[in-house]
């Protein structure tokens, strides 16, 4: 690993300093969390003077949300709301700075492209398609906008016919879904209805829409959206797209070059790499493309390296091969000499820069969680970005590119945070499996007294290649877990990301052993601190964290209660997951080969040891961890006559996303933990 240069580690008094606590007297509740306003991804005007960004507000009573656009002046920091329909997103400035394009689904129609003239007037609707559009991007000459949309290939470029095809599907009384594909559903949607992703362009003046990918039937990012960039001369698009054909036995993403005249003829420029290639961005002079490259196709958390592709001689230069960081969100400096990016590092998501020619990288800001990097007005002096941390939700910040103290420039949630009584947060390290250092956050309850004994609640993250980092979490908020008077520990066990490639990949073939040892040693560490009542401890986890909860249930009785949200119970059943590619590699076994190895790490094989009360939470629309996982472990618990509670959501997926469902989720959590951890 190359040595970092000019590293700046900041302890910020007002945002990310560990040990920071709110000193208000208001107890933090799930209702308060859902009242908070969520600042989304922004765009900066070409002159660097204004920012446009969305703000989402939730109405708990109506169980829905509204999103409107806001405009901020970077000169005087004044902010005003500029749209009021509550249905806006994806705002981007035109290259000349005179207009803002955005997506809106006003009048309950599919989301379409609208343009707002900054000289005044109402927003003008530019597209009128029977399907929603997404991922909009201006052409450099201001004449067109590129966007993604999902279509039925039989429409053959005729959107009237597409509307008819859609109506036919809606009217059909046949509800069966038939397939021969290995991947036939994803996350919470089925892929059997024949829709595929394509890029289009629309002429601003005429509204004429051109299909830029005729006869291409494949998928972009499976979680939605399209990752692409338009060349400075507007003649071609660099696009990241799946490169495999049905039956989609595996997914593999490559970078393609696509002409913008609608003639098709895509060229794959990364076909030599079996693993994923992503997020292409043209250099300011249009001579190079910067993209992300992974090297292990069956390891979804393989580190992402930044690669330069020279369009003239087709050569490739890997800028970060020898740097143990997984890069993301890269942007070019205006002169093309510097690249700014972010990457997970030690449970944070830090901001870095590196010369385009390669070499040492600089750490600009290494606290909290940061994203949506933009250079202010294209100037290579100041970065603007979204920042959140364990003590505050996302707001917009700015910082000099050389580093230093960042400045918060939006304050939508100050009115909530100033009154909340948060406990302090501590960052600790203990010795885990193989005597390795394991990082862990401790979140204390409000008004913590170290002379007293407190119940302990472990939060076990999903993935397994994920992290409980220094970030604000709306679904599993550590301060909400701590609010009833619990000490909360969030260990980043073996397999967690942000601590190097070797640490992340170390659990392949043995998903349970090292993480379990880390979690147990983290529990011992907490008890040794002297303020934990070891008779009142609980372990909670979602997804892979739920897998670990079921593993804990079969391997120890030291906890008083367990919470298993959307957890994997039987590894065999995970071959009914939305995407089973790579599981044989991750488990070192399958139900048809090396199944003894698979079963050695399978929680379902240890049900005979179950004794600890468990609450099971699952959503019907969870295709990543099928709902049968939760129903199975709950049924076994009840069959054994053990204490168990099932919380089932017929309308939620792997996550609990609706306000009232989320508030109810926390009520169930508090009631269950209170039953076993309170006096």
- In SS3 terms, 413-424 reads as CHHHHCCECCCC
Number of domains in the chain: 2
Whether the pLDDT of residue 19 is over 90: the answer is no
> What does the angle CA 561 – CA 564 – CA 567 come to, to the nearest 5 degrees?
155
Sign of CA dihedral 572, 574, 580, 583: negative
Whether the pLDDT of residue 10 is over 60: the answer is no
Taking the chain, what is the end-to-end CA distance rounded to the nearest angstrom? Answer: 51
Residue 389 lies in a domain: no
Whether the pLDDT of residue 443 is over 60: the answer is yes
Would you tell me how many other CB atoms lie within 10 Å of the CB of residue 380? 16
Which tokens in the block code for residue 406?
A: 């960042």
Residue 495 lies in a domain: yes
Band of residue 379 on the pLDDT scale cut at 50, 70, 90: low
Whether the pLDDT of residue 14 is over 50: the answer is no
566-601 as b/e: b if 16+ CB within 10 A = bbbbbbebbeebbbebbbbebbbbbeeeeeeebbbb
pLDDT of residue 591: 94
Residue 174 lies in a domain: no
pLDDT of residue 20: 54
Band of residue 24 on the pLDDT scale cut at 50, 70, 90: confident
d(CA 485, CA 532) in angstroms, rounded, equals 12
Task: Give phi and psi for 271, each to the nearest 5.
Answer: -65, -15
Residue that is written with structure tokens 């290649």 in the block:
465
Which tokens in the block code for residue 184?
A: 């036939």
Strand order in the sheet with 487-492: 425-431, 437-443, 487-492, 454-460, 532-542, 561-565, 614-619, 644-649
Q: Which of 70, 101, 125 is the last residue of a domain?
A: 125
Residue that is written with structure tokens 């999903």 in the block:
462
Cis peptide before 257 (omega within 30 of 0): no
- pLDDT tens, 559-591? 999 999 999 999 999 999 998 888 888 899 999
Residue 21 lies in a domain: no
Would you tell me how many other CB atoms lie within 10 Å of the CB of residue 420? 22
Which tokens in the block code for residue 154?
A: 């039989």
Mean pLDDT of 315-325: 97
Which tokens in the block code for residue 571?
A: 């590894």
- pLDDT tens, 223-249? 889 999 999 999 999 999 999 989 988
Which tokens in the block code for residue 152?
A: 């039925």
Band of residue 208 on the pLDDT scale cut at 50, 70, 90: very high
Residue 192 lies in a domain: no
- pLDDT tens, 103-138? 999 988 999 999 999 999 999 999 999 999 999 999
d(CA 309, CA 289) in angstroms, rounded, equals 5
CATH at residue 499: 3.40.50.1820
Question: Alpha carbon of 422 to those of 23, 24, 400, 602: distances in Å?
Answer: 7, 8, 30, 38
pLDDT of residue 138: 98
Q: Which of 101, 125, 149 is the last residue of a domain?
A: 125
Mean pLDDT of 72-100: 95
d(CA 66, CA 87) in angstroms, rounded, equals 6
Which tokens in the block code for residue 68?
A: 């409107």
pTM assigned to the model? 0.94
Structural domain of residue 65, as residue ranges? 37-125
How buried is 454 (Cβ within 10 angstroms: 0-12 exposed, 13-18 middle, 19+ buried)? buried
From 385, 349, 384, 389, select the one nearest 15 (Cα to Cα). 389
CB 453 within 8 A of CB 531: yes
- pLDDT tens, 188-199? 999 999 999 999
260-271 as b/e: b if 16+ CB within 10 A = beeeeebeebbe
pLDDT of residue 21: 54
Whether the pLDDT of residue 437 is over 50: the answer is yes
Which tokens in the block code for residue 108?
A: 């309950």
CB 470 within 8 A of CB 368: yes
Cis peptide before 260 (omega within 30 of 0): no
CB 350 within 8 A of CB 366: yes
pLDDT of residue 352: 98
Nearest 10 degrees: Cα torsion 648, 650, 655, 660:
-90
- pLDDT tens, 254-292? 999 999 999 988 999 999 999 999 999 999 999 999 999
Task: Give phi and psi for 589, each to the nearest 5.
Answer: 180, 165
> Residue 173: CB partners within 8 Å, gap ≥ 6?
none
> How many helices (H) and strands (E) in the chain?
11, 39
Which tokens in the block code for residue 534?
A: 């070891």
Q: Which stretches within 11-133 are classed as H helix?
A: 30-35
CB 295 within 8 A of CB 343: no
- pLDDT tens, 91-100? 999 999 999 9
Whether the pLDDT of residue 6 is over 60: the answer is no
Whether the pLDDT of residue 5 is over 50: the answer is no
Q: Which of 125, 146, 176 is the last residue of a domain?
A: 125
SS3 186: strand
pLDDT of residue 221: 86
pLDDT of residue 13: 35
SS3 673: helix
């Amino acid at each position: 690993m190359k040595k970092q240069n000019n590293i700046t580690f900041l302890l910020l008094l007002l945002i990310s300093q560990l040990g920071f606590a709110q000193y208000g007297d208001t107890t933090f509740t799930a209702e308060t969390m859902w009242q908070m306003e969520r600042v989304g991804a922004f765009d900066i005007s070409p002159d660097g003077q204004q920012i446009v960004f969305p703000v989402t507000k939730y109405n708990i009573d109506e169980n829905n949300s509204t999103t409107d656009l806001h405009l901020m002046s970077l000169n005087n920091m004044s902010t005003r709301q500029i749209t009021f329909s509550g249905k806006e997103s994806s705002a981007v400035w035109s290259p000349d700075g005179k207009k803002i394009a955005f997506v809106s689904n006003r009048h309950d129609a599919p989301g379409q492209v609208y343009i707002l003239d900054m000289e005044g007037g109402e927003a003008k609707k530019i597209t009128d398609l029977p399907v929603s559009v997404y991922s909009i991007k201006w052409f450099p000459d201001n004449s067109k906008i590129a966007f993604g949309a999902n279509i039925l290939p039989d429409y053959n470029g005729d959107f009237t016919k597409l509307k008819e095809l859609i109506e036919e599907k809606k009217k059909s009384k046949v509800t069966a879904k038939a397939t021969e594909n290995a991947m036939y559903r994803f996350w919470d949607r089925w892929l059997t209805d024949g829709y595929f992703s394509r890029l289009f362009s629309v002429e601003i003046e005429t509204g004429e829409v051109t299909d830029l990918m005729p006869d291409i039937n494949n998928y972009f990012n499976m979680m939605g959206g399209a990752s692409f960039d338009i060349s400075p001369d507007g003649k071609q698009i660099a696009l990241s797209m799946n490169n495999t054909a049905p039956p989609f036995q595996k997914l593999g993403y490559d970078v393609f070059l696509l002409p913008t005249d609608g003639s098709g003829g895509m060229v794959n420029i990364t076909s030599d790499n079996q693993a994923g290639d992503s997020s292409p961005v043209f250099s300011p002079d249009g001579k190079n493309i910067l993209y992300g490259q992974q090297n292990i196709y069956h390891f979804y958390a393989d580190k992402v390296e930044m690669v330069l592709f020279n369009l003239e001689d087709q050569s490739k230069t890997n800028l970060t091969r020898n740097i143990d960081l997984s890069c993301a969100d890269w942007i070019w400096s205006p002169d093309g000499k510097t690249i700014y990016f972010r990457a997970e590092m030690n449970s944070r998501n830090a901001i870095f820069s590196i010369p385009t020619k390669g070499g040492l990288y600089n750490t600009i800001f290494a606290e909290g969680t940061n994203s949506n990097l933009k250079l202010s007005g294209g100037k290579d002096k100041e970065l603007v970005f979204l920042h959140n941390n364990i003590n505050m939700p996302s707001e917009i910040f700015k910082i000099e590119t050389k580093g230093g103290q960042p400045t918060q420039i939006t304050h939508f949630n100050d009115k909530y945070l100033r009154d909340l009584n948060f406990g302090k947060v501590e960052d600790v390290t203990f010795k885990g499996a193989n005597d390795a250092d394991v990082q862990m956050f401790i979140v204390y309850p409000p008004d913590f007294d170290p002379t007293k004994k407190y119940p302990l609640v472990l939060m076990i993250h999903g993935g397994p290649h994920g992290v409980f980092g220094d970030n604000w979490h709306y679904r599993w908020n550590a301060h909400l877990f701590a609010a009833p008077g619990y000490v909360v520990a969030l260990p980043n066990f073996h397999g967690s990301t942000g601590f190097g490639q070797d640490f992340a990949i170390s659990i392949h073939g043995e998903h349970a052993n090292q993480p379990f040892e880390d979690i147990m040693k983290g529990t011992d560490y907490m008890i040794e601190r002297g303020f934990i009542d070891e008779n009142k401890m609980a372990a909670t986890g979602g997804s892979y964290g739920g897998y670990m909860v079921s593993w804990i249930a079969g391997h120890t009785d030291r906890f008083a209660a367990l919470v298993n949200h959307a957890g994997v119970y039987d590894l065999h059943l995970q071959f009914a997951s939305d995407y089973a590619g790579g599981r044989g590699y991750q488990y070192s076994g399958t139900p048809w080969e090396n199944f003894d190895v698979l079963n050695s790490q399978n929680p379902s094989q240890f049900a005979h040891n179950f004794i600890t009360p468990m609450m099971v939470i699952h959503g019907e629309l969870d295709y990543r961890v099928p709902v049968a996982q939760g129903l199975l472990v709950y049924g076994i618990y009840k069959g054994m006559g053990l204490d168990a509670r099932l919380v089932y959501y017929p309308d939620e997926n792997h996550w609990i996303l609706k306000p009232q469902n989320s508030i109810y989720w926390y009520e169930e959590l508090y009631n269950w933990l209170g039953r076993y951890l309170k006096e």
